[in-house]
Amino acid sequence: MAKPLLNAGLKIHRLQNQRRIAYSLIERSRTLLKPGTPFTREIHELFKAQGKFGSKDRRLYRELIYTYLRYQPWLEGSYAQQDAFMDKLICLAAPTSEIQTLYPTLKDRKPLEIPVDHRYLALDREIDDLPQLVPDWFASHTERAISPKSLLHLVTRPPLWLRIQKDPREDLLQRLRAGASPEQADQIAKHPLVPDCLHAPADFPLANHPCYVEGYVEIQDISSQILLHLLKDAPKGHWLDACAGAGGKTLQLANLLKPYGKVDAYDKRTAALRELQSRAKRSGLANIGVLDQRPTAGAYDGVLVDAPCSGSGTWRRHPYLMRQTSEESVFDYAKTQLAILKSYAPLVKDGGVLVYSTCSLSRHENQAVQEQFLAAYKDFCHQPLSPRFGYEDKGRGITVYPEDHNGDGLYVATFRKQS
């Protein structure tokens, strides 16, 4: 009869060890919040240094680290008391299967019964306290007033958004659900408004799923997918994706340009270009050209500049940015964005379109940059975006907020080069 008790004791010992590891990792992550620190790369290296982490371990510790970053201002007071701190953190975290394994280590042996988007109640906080979690300068930067609903989204883990990359010739939803738990399967669905957009739970294990490996679906946030659908005219001809990153919009743009159009893609980050090349190969698309040097000449029907930015629209997905970003860095990014726009404007042919976007919610990086560009380039005029999805472009572009579609936030404006 002693053996079950022994096994239970070993299990609790292992779970307590996971708590200690999580605490030490969070302690290390606190040193990575200086502006400009490549947080995700450093965390990846930190996980590698542990030697024995499997995929479940990485998901567990990443969720705890990111939860800490979302609620950092409220957790600092209890940080020195390790057990109390970890109890609070586990209760705040999204109840993924990995997090739930730690519930037996809680003081009361079970978490509070609190909805995922109201986890702040675990700290006896009210919804009106949420502004304390974001930088104090943030509210003055947004075009739309930041409501409690907005803040709830900014501190809540987003779902996984997918885009159908190629025709599966079979029931894609059925294939995706086959690789999910019953709870996950219930959340996998097509979006009713956004073409080819699929919703999946945040903890859905997509990386090794055949639908992803074979290129039938790609990970792309819903707001990012919406961007190209907001263009007044459907893309055609020869396009340049000037700041392509890992290529989410490049792949979508290439799909929209079929069968006769093509897209060139460039990014100064070579690692991102390698990922883009891998994704392009997996997609089977033949109308993508990956450039190893920045183009300095040409005449494109369209140029997409998805400019580097402060990333406030992605704080829910990348909460470390909420702690790294200063107001001064926002203004620095705005200068860079304007310079990038100016450098690519000459590559747009007469009658062509220049698309400017950021994943920032700051008007200083968005509307202000748009206004400065139009003031400097009289041969370009503002081209209103399509009134799809309930948006209206009143001459200043469109900002998509996280609460609009339960995704990231972004800004987009388009300029037509006059003949």
Q: Which residues pair with 217 in a beta bridge?
A: 164
Provide the annotated binding site for S-adenosyl-L-methionine.
267, 292, 306
Specify the pairing of strand 300-306 against strand 238-241: parallel
CA 408 vs CA 199, 223, 358: distances in Å: 14, 6, 11
The DSSP code for 160 is E
The terminus-to-terminus CA distance of the chain in angstroms comes to 87
Q: Which of 197, 243, 309, 359 is catalytic?
A: 359
Contact 414, 355 (CB under 8 A): yes
Contact 222, 406 (CB under 8 A): yes
d(CA 284, CA 196): 17
- Answer yes or no: 359 catalytic: yes
d(CA 240, CA 75): 45
Specify the pairing of strand 197-200 against strand 189-190: antiparallel
Provide the annotated binding site.
267, 292, 306
d(CA 307, CA 366): 10
CB atoms within 10 A of CB 126: 9
Active site amino acids: 359
